Amino acid sequence: MPTALSSVAVPARRRFRLSAETRGIKLMLPVLLLLVLCFLVPVITLLLRSVMEPTPGWQNYAELLGSQTYVRVFFNTFMVAGVVTLITLLVGFPTAWLLAILPQRWSRLMFAVLLLSMWTNLLARTYAWMVLLQQTGLINRVLMALGVIDQPLALVNNLVGVTIGMTYIMLPFLVLPLHATLRAIDPSTLRAAAVCGASRWQSLRLVLLPLALPGIASGALMVFVMSLGYYVTPALLGGTSYMMLAELIAQLVQSLLNWGLAGAAAFVLLVVTLGLYAVQLRYLGAGRSEMGGR
């Protein structure tokens, strides 16, 4: 009797589990909908306004790149981002190095400080620097008391203040990923270098730095890109006469209601940011960390 069953063909339909593909897509639908509606559409609309307002054409871009005021803003933005990146790198590399080799008791403490600083409210930190750096602030008074300077230095409402504040914010973003890169390097490669007769400088230059290079490059790129789009810190520490790109966009919308020009500036910022991230993804692999500029 079972012989009749021996060649029953089962149609290839799925009965119990929805096909994995469609089930997955259903689960993602809410997020997809939210992001398309409240993220993609608004951003694209903003960018479109740059070529539609006040009249269709490229005049917003011409104005942005033709006016000395705006070119100055671009220059400020890239210069500050560059200087911040450089300082962060110079200070951050030794710090990450120390963090990677320190006995656990001490490295835990360093970690706690780094995380505390990173997660402390951005405004709280910026406020602290505004107070510390002002004419009568602690920094100026200590320097004068030590006899380093006679007159208080102008440390806020200019690019010096912005640079100090931004470096402060960016340091953890470089140190933490770079520390992970350095931790992943096998210490015995450096012992081997020493056995081969390399001096410390040679070991550093020929072994450690090349091995850490991917981490250094991606960390630096990330700091640079984040710095380009930062708004709060430059606005508060830089004052009105030293404007950066993010602040310009906000100003154009809030005070001047010039949506077309704001859209153009946003487009430039977007292209540079996403372009540099694409470079990072393509050549350096993804570095996961907080990236959005505040």
Partner 1 sequence: MTTPFLQIRGLRKTYDQVVAIDQVSLDIKQGEFMTFLGPSGSGKSTTLYIVAGFQEPTEGQVLLNGKSLLDVAPNKRNIGMVFQRYTLFPHLTVGENVAFPLRVRRRPESEVKAKVAKMLELVHLAEYRDRLPGQLSGGQQQRVAIARALAYDPPLLLMDEPLSALDKKLREEIQFELRRIHQETGVTILYVTHDQEEALRLSDRIAVFSQGRIEQVGTGEELYEHPSSRFVAGFIGNSNFLPVKVEQMGGGRARAIFPNGQAVEGDARAFAAGSEGTLMVRPEKMRIRPHAASARGLAVTVRDMTYLGDSMHFAVQTPWEQELAVRMAVGDGQGLCIGSSAVLEWDAQHGHVFA
Partner 2 sequence: MLLDYDRLGGWRWGLVAIGSAVMLFLLLPIVFIAALSFGDSQWLVFPPPGWTTQWYQQLLTDPVWVNALLTSAKVAVMVTLLSVVLGLLAALGLARSRFFGKSALQAFFLTPMVLPVVVLAVALYAFFLKLGLTGTLTGFVIGHLIIALPFSIITIGNSLQSFDSALEDAAMICGAGPLEVKWRVTLPAIRLGLFAAAIFSFLISWDEVVLSIFMASPTLQTLPVLIWSTLRQDLTPVIASASTLLVAFTVLLMLLASFLKKGSRQ
Binding positions for partner 2, 190-249, rule CB under 8 A: 190-191, 194, 200, 203-204, 207-208, 225, 228-232, 236, 246, 249
Peptide bond into 94 cis (omega under 30): no
Q: Is 122 in the site for partner 2 (CB under 8 A)?
A: yes
Q: Build a one-symbol-per-residue string for 35-74: x at contacts with partner 2 by CB under 8 A, - elsewhere.
A: x--xxxxxx-xx--x-------------------------
Q: Is 23 in the site for partner 2 (CB under 8 A)?
A: yes
> What would you report as the CA-atom Rg of the chain, rounded to the nearest whole angstrom?
26
Contact 166, 80 (CB under 8 A): yes
Q: Residue 212: which of 168, 172, 174 has the closest Cα? A: 174
Figure out which of the listed residues 71, 79, 115, 154 binds partner 2, where binding follows CB under 8 A.
Answer: 115
**Nearer residue to partner 1 within complex by CB, 22 or 136:** 22
Q: Which does residue 99 bind out of partner 2, partner 1, none, counting CB within 5 to 8 angstroms by kind?
A: partner 2
With a CB cutoff of 8 Å and minimum separation 6, the contacts of 276 are: 221, 224, 225
**Nearer residue to partner 1 within complex by CB, 10 or 31:** 10
Q: How far is the CB of 1 from partner 1 (least distance, A)?
A: 8
Q: How far is the CB of 156 from partner 2 (least distance, A)?
A: 10
**Nearer residue to partner 1 within complex by CB, 6 or 136:** 6
Coil, strand or helix at 198? coil
Q: Which stretch binds partner 2 (CB under 8 A): 31-39, 55-63, 65-73, 145-153?
A: 31-39
Q: Is 22 in the site for partner 1 (CB under 8 A)?
A: no
For residues 184 and 176, give the distance between their C-alpha atoms in angstroms, rounded to a whole number: 13
Residues in the chain: 294
Figure out which of the listed residues 168, 180, 214, 284 binds partner 2, where binding follows CB under 8 A.
Answer: 168
Q: Residue 91: which of 164, 180, 186 has the closest Cα? A: 164
| Residues between 142 and 161 with contacts to partner 2, criterion CB under 8 A | none
Coil, strand or helix at 106? helix
**Nearer residue to partner 2 within complex by CB, 71 or 278:** 278
Contact 266, 50 (CB under 8 A): yes
For residues 139 and 154, give the distance between their C-alpha atoms in angstroms, rounded to a whole number: 11
